[in-house]
Structure 1
Amino acid sequence: MRRILIVEDEEIIRSALRKLLTHADYDVSDAGSVDEARSHYELDGFDLIISDLRLPGAAGTELIRLAPETPVLIMTSYASLRSAVDSMKMGAVEYIAKPFDHDEMLSTVEDILERTAPVAAASPADDTNQHEATDGDPSRIMFGQCTAMQSVFTLIRKVAPTETTVLINGESGTGKELAARALHQLSPRARQPLICVNCAAIPESLIESELFGHEKGAFTGAVSARTGLIEAADGGSLFLDEIGELPAEAQARLLRVLQESEIRKVGSTQSRKVDVRMIAATHRNLRAMTKTGEFREDLYYRLNVMQIRIPPLRERNGDILGLAKRFLQAQGQRMGKPDISLSPDAMRALELHRWPGNVRELENAIERATILSDDNMITPALLDLDPDASEVHIPAGLLEEDNPAPSPDPQSSNDLSLEDYFQHFVLENQDKMSETELAQKLGISRKSLWERRQRLGIPRKKSN
């Protein structure tokens, strides 16, 4: 049994993580600080250490020095993202941003343990069978028994060992990041970091600094030099999710990375060579965006060397119940309901639903139903599926038209629903307001604004 040490000062997080990993058959110990961990345990005796970045006393990165033979996974909030990148430069094997979901944590832990396990028993013969040792199959990371997903797995197996840039297309919630993890884990770069970046979640004013880094004094607030995410991925892979949301300036800089394999920090006059395998993903039609000027055509052709399309859940006949049962088994174990199951009516409801939110929506429905169930049987009522989503689905291509749908008639604004009002307001004001201003006027966060744009298919205008 693999031994894992959790170092986290918040008892709620520490307890939840301990239960999660214990249910996954790991031998788990925990501590509230670096000093407590050092005094109570032999740190090099663990297979993995999971530590918060900010702890009372010494920082979590101190464990990298104290346990040089043990991989360290750093947990951090988005506000500390840059510090997490610095921690990877210090030797952390990976970082995970809070809040994380259970599947993300388990997938990351499994990935690290599989990557580092061969090191302990390395031999010349092992090197010749590196891919066999890691099983070499995307199905370890993604589930899919239908023909469409088997085709995806075949393509991943062929592309992963190469250095080819990959563009992953798919609707939100289909598992594009899992496909990127499979590409990285089955590649020769598997022992190096995979840096995942959601381009839509970073404010436009900070995205160049986050990706490329900056020098001290490059702009107001740059009190020290920082390493960018691209440089942090040097030797490994960089996954740029929602790349269609990149501002024009960042697109030009990224093109140079792809063409010349070099970066220049914001405020610097010197370039630096980097060795990064680029994997990008989007739910939008980048080719159509090149015609409207929202996306650089030369960057599109650089990214679109090899394209992998992840099918939406409604096209994966036979996979819905398989995924549901896997999620149900995992949730049942976590919540102490190992015998929980789906009623025949619930299974039928799952198969009939159109799943606009795809696999993510299915997972959320199963988790919600598991929490609400008073016995060991899940009924359609507990799933609480939106009936409208089963009747109508907006095709993905419709969301990518060059011109958005016309705004509702202002004269009928009294009859608008909340979603209609949101769409009307955004389309009417996005040319003269920034994303921050739009969010403030609507009384929501920028993240909520982005999520609603995705759900309603409202493209974000790019500044020239």
Structure 2
Amino acid sequence: MPHILIVEDETIIRSALRRLLERNQYQVSEAGSVQEAQERFSITTFDLIVSDLRLPGAPGTELIRLGEGTPVLIMTSYASLRSAVDSMKMGAVDYIAKPFDHDEMLQAVARILRDRPKTAPQEANNPEARISGKSSSADKAAATAASGEIGIIGSCPPMLDMFSKIRKVAPTDSNVLIQGESGTGKELVARALHNLSRRAKAPMISVNCAAIPETLIESELFGHEKGAFTGASAGRAGLVEAADGGTLFLDEIGELPLEAQARLLRVLQEGEIRRVGSVQSQKVDVRLIAATHRDLKSLAKAGQFREDLYYRLHVIALKLPALRERGSDVNQIADAFLARQSARIGRDDLCFSGDAVQAIRHYSWPGNVRELENAVERAVILSESPEISAELLGIDIELSDLEDGDPLDHLPSSSAVGANPSQDPTEDLSLEDYFHHFVLEHQDHMTETELARKLGVSRKCLWERRQRLGIPRRKSSATSEN
């Protein structure tokens, strides 16, 4: 049974995590500070350390040194990208933003414990190697990446299901059809399928069928012989031939002309091609991965796509969710883009404002990941202050209309939200209950700003949560911030 050490100075949060982990068959020890952890335990004997970043005395990152290779998962305030990336550079195996829900924490813990045996000892103690692109932790340095070796950021249930299918499908030679809206990352999925296949050392040739003129598509894909058409002064191999032994990725295959579809069908059925203008065929060994944002089945019924080709392609179908359907993944991806763009211009002080975090989470992103990446790149270039606002991102959304627009919305609800401040914090409560309990316990001696900072949310989010749970703000000298 894995043994986990929790280091957190807030009794409520620490107790919640302990009970959550114990219910899921983990052995748990806890401490309120780094010093207490040193005095009570042999830190190197734990399988995993989960620690808050800000602790009384030494920060949680001190446990990275004391753990001597033991993986450390850092908890940090929501959207505190700079501190999270700094923790990763110091050697933390991952970070998780507060507030988080039960599933998010359990997924992170399970992933770290699962991947730990695969980590070479010298890499575990070498943070520079971990952020240089030499391991899957490079992505984690920028954001919480729940995808391991797949290299795609995401921890929502649809993406976890996608990762599972990728691992199962990749080692086979089956044709794959990737479906999803434009900008959702279909080529990333294709790349992951190739990299995890037995063809990984061979080339992966990517073709955007919509970007090649219809008059040239057959020549580009299948090649041509000298004199096959005007201007063909020499013979030329096509892209299918170039992918021999590897993977051919046809993006937007729904735009492929019907004549080219017939030739492609021959490649799939017979494993051979014939160049334009040639009478001889030649064998090719190609795995086909296709992608589209269109409904190929409907196109086939309308006679705009070959039905026999559709069924050849539809051996394995993977459906990518739109960014608006991926919950908190959007903030993880935004953080990753921010880290990447910041590094490009040599800045390490940029972070999203509280309003920007909410706007990113609740905007519909019709252009999906591609639109998000462009928005972050533009904001980084134009930013004159460390905080990037929603306005700078160009997000057209009214934050005041988001009554449910705070990061705690995804937390599990409870039918008995405790309003009794004397309630035992070790009782089996949801994290929303702990929010309620924390505010009631600390609001007499902490300001609203301090409460929000401890909970990892903005003051606006704190106010909205008070309204929803019916927790009035008490007027006292401690809460006065005039």
TM-score calculated relative to the size of structure 2: 0.52
C-alpha distance in structure 1 between counterparts of 2:168 and 2:150, whole Å: 16
Are the aligned partners of 1:237 and 1:276 in contact in 2 as well (CA < 8 Å)? yes
Are the aligned partners of 1:138 and 1:157 in contact in 2 as well (CA < 8 Å)? no
Kindly report structure 1 stretches of 4+ aligned residues shifted beyond 3 Å.
Answer: 137-140
Aligned pairs for 1:276-425 (under 5 A) are 276-387=286-397
Are the aligned partners of 2:225 and 2:276 in contact in 1 as well (CA < 8 Å)? yes
Task: Give the CA deviation at 1:386.
Answer: 3.8
Task: Give the CA deviation at 1:370.
Answer: 0.6
Are the aligned partners of 1:138 and 1:153 in contact in 2 as well (CA < 8 Å)? no
Matched residues, number: 260
Counterpart residue number, 2:419 = none
Counterpart residue number, 1:234 = 244
C-alpha distance in structure 2 between counterparts of 1:386 and 1:289, whole Å: 34
Task: Give the CA deviation at 1:139.
Answer: 4.9
C-alpha distance in structure 1 between counterparts of 2:320 and 2:151, whole Å: 14
Counterpart residue number, 2:228 = 218
Counterpart residue number, 1:131 = none
Counterpart residue number, 2:191 = 181
The 3 A distance-change label for structure 1 pair 173 and 183 is same
C-alpha distance in structure 2 between counterparts of 1:374 and 1:238, whole Å: 44
The 3 A distance-change label for structure 1 pair 309 and 382 is same
C-alpha distance in structure 1 between counterparts of 2:350 and 2:234, whole Å: 53
The secondary structure found in structure 2 opposite 1:281 is strand
Counterpart residue number, 2:219 = 209
Aligned pairs for 1:141-220 (under 5 A) are 141-220=151-230
Amino acid at match of 1:349: A
C-alpha distance in structure 2 between counterparts of 1:273 and 1:250, whole Å: 18
Task: Give the CA deviation at 1:141.
Answer: 2.0
The secondary structure found in structure 2 opposite 1:204 is coil
- Structure 2 residue ranges without an equivalent (≥5): 1-88, 90-131, 136-146, 402-482
C-alpha distance in structure 2 between counterparts of 1:379 and 1:323, whole Å: 17
The secondary structure found in structure 1 opposite 2:197 is coil
C-alpha distance in structure 1 between counterparts of 2:346 and 2:283, whole Å: 51
Counterpart residue number, 1:422 = none
C-alpha distance in structure 2 between counterparts of 1:138 and 1:265, whole Å: 41
The secondary structure found in structure 2 opposite 1:284 is coil
C-alpha distance in structure 2 between counterparts of 1:179 and 1:387, whole Å: 30
C-alpha distance in structure 2 between counterparts of 1:168 and 1:367, whole Å: 27
C-alpha distance in structure 2 between counterparts of 1:319 and 1:331, whole Å: 18
C-alpha distance in structure 2 between counterparts of 1:214 and 1:194, whole Å: 21
Are the aligned partners of 1:138 and 1:156 in contact in 2 as well (CA < 8 Å)? no
Are the aligned partners of 1:138 and 1:182 in contact in 2 as well (CA < 8 Å)? no
Q: Percent identity?
A: 62
2:257 to 247, 251, 254: 247
C-alpha distance in structure 2 between counterparts of 1:138 and 1:240, whole Å: 25
Task: Give the CA deviation at 1:165.
Answer: 0.3
The 3 A distance-change label for structure 1 pair 359 and 165 is same
Are the aligned partners of 1:261 and 1:275 in contact in 2 as well (CA < 8 Å)? yes
C-alpha distance in structure 2 between counterparts of 1:256 and 1:140, whole Å: 31
C-alpha distance in structure 1 between counterparts of 2:340 and 2:182, whole Å: 22
C-alpha distance in structure 2 between counterparts of 1:140 and 1:376, whole Å: 32
C-alpha distance in structure 1 between counterparts of 2:162 and 2:227, whole Å: 46
The secondary structure found in structure 2 opposite 1:307 is strand
Are the aligned partners of 1:242 and 1:281 in contact in 2 as well (CA < 8 Å)? yes
Render the CA deviation track for 1:288-329: whole Å, top value 9, x for unaligned.
000110000000000000000111000001101111111111
Amino acid at match of 2:293: H
Render the CA deviation track for 1:392-420: whole Å, top value 9, x for unaligned.
xxxxxxxxxxxxxxxxxxxxxxxxxxxxx
Amino acid at match of 2:218: E
Counterpart residue number, 2:111 = none
Amino acid at match of 2:366: P
- Structure 1 residue ranges without an equivalent (≥5): 1-24, 26-108, 115-136, 392-464
Deviates more, 1:138-147 or 1:188-197: 138-147
**Structure showing greater Rg:** 2
C-alpha distance in structure 2 between counterparts of 1:255 and 1:140, whole Å: 29
The secondary structure found in structure 1 opposite 2:152 is coil
